[in-house]
Structure 1
Amino acid sequence: MSTSPSPSAEQPARTRRGQAKAARRAELLEAAARLMAERGFAAVTLEDIGRAVGVSGPAMYRHFSSKIDLLDQMLVDISQRLHDGGAEVVDGAGDPEQTLRDLIRFHIDVLVTKPDLIAVQDRDLSSLTPAANHQVRSLQRRYVEQWVDVLLAVDAGSGGSLSREEARVRVHATFGLLNSSPRLPAFGEAELRTVLGAMAWSALLSGR
């Protein structure tokens, strides 16, 4: 008589395995971001990353086919996180000014909690495969346009006449300001959030 496990018994085991694999993948990506931010993409190997979390070199290939595959996944992940988080802020929108403040707060939260990822994205985007580069840039463009739409709504609400082109320039310039934060001198997290938030608001609305 067959004693194979029922589907209901198999499912929790699969779920646990999937959760464990996802947790290990996240751990590896975090270690990779830290090492690459410190040394640069070219100076880090898969074996270095594995050692940082106690994973053997061969075991790394269960998660990533190569170092470039790891970089692809890392930067697509952070770009998707920014895009999806921005969309969530906009979808839960109240008035435009509050939505813009919430977008700034969300972006700064990512910066201060994932500074290594931001540093790697800023420096090593050109090392992505063409397909991943296209995906990252597409997500980035759509994330920018989320901000542009909200900034234009804020401007229109105060009787302004900001063009979409200028709004886009302001958003890109603000990202440049914010994304430089991993290179800033050491500063308390709460104070950094306050300073960056005030500067971003001023940059977006300067001269209005």
Structure 2
Amino acid sequence: MLWHREARHMTPGHRKAFQTQVDAIVQAITRSLQPARSDLSSRACELLAWATLAVFLSASFHRKELPGEEFSSLLADTALRVAEVPPFELDPATRPDRSRLRPLSRKEALITTATALFAERGYGSVSIDDIGKTVGITGPSVYNHVASKNELLETAIRRGGAHLMLGLDAALTDSATPSEALHKLGRSYIDFASAHYHLVTLLISDSQHLTPSALEEAVATQRDYLSEWTHLLSQATPRIQGTPASIRVQSAITIVNTTARVAHLRQSPGYRTAISAVLNQILP
């Protein structure tokens, strides 16, 4: 959690050194996978390495606990499931994220710009002047459209929560079984995180800057969203209930959050299909 929230605030030198360490860990996992996964390309093995690492990173985000040995065993089992995902294609070429068109509405432009800046630098490191300058207006002019910098953050996070709940509603509406709904829900979250990776960063890292009432609303939305995943998993797989189901779901969410924020993976053709296959493997 510290990595996700605070790495943005490292000095460039320290951040580069830290990234070198992370890359070395991922490369070590990739090398461990390759002998057993000759059916996968090196880029596909790297994706599985990041997903495997994410399973263990998810321990920072679990709100429910099991006895140490049982918890470790569950994480290990989930990581092994990731390593055994059926073969998939992942093109080593990358397609840079498209530059989005700027909306006509000045307020909408401020919201999207602020979302990206908050994610890249951290909420506390971005000023109203920074946001206004990026949009092409003076800092004081921003207040003609929004009451405060916090309103921009609150709007972005509220919209992110609403997007997730709409994806949930679509998955429940269009599915005949819990298993089908769970897989569609997973795909909708992958699509969301891939297209709105800056917003994912805000949901993970900057909620603590919200006002108490807005924070309570955001936490409740995320809790309800995760509870629906857990309920569907328990219905689809009766042998997985309660805390183990919650832990398996949090592992899946962290896999998506982590890999979607690795640019060269997110930009690889076939990424969304590959991560969907990983989620289907650990959320049967």
TM-score, with normalisation over the residues of structure 1?
Answer: 0.78
**Bigger radius of gyration:** 1
Unaligned runs of 5+ in 1: 1-20
Task: Map 1:57-136 to 2 at 5 A.
Answer: 57-136=139-218
**Matches of 1:66 and 1:26, distance apart in 2:** 14
- Cα distance, 1:50 vs structure 2: 1.8
Aligned residue number for residue 193 of structure 1: 272
Q: 1:161 aligns with which of 235, 239, 261?
A: 239
**Matches of 2:130 and 2:213, distance apart in 1:** 26
Aligned residue number for residue 35 of structure 1: 117
Q: Greater RCO between the two (CA within 8 Å, min separation 6)?
A: 2
The residue identity in structure 1 corresponding to 2:245 is: A
CA contact (8 A) 2:110 2:135 kept: yes
TM-score, with normalisation over the residues of structure 2?
Answer: 0.59
- Cα distance, 1:147 vs structure 2: 1.2
RMSD after superposition? 2.0
Aligned-partner SS, 1:190: coil
The number of aligned residues is 181
CA contact (8 A) 2:197 2:261 kept: no
**Matches of 2:165 and 2:106, distance apart in 1:** 24
- Cα distance, 1:172 vs structure 2: 1.6
Aligned-partner SS, 1:133: helix
Unaligned runs of 5+ in 2: 1-102
- Cα distance, 1:116 vs structure 2: 0.8
**Matches of 2:214 and 2:196, distance apart in 1:** 20
**Matches of 1:72 and 1:92, distance apart in 2:** 30
- Cα distance, 1:22 vs structure 2: 8.7
CA contact (8 A) 1:32 1:49 kept: yes
Q: 1:177 aligns with which of 255, 258, 267?
A: 255
**Matches of 2:231 and 2:174, distance apart in 1:** 14
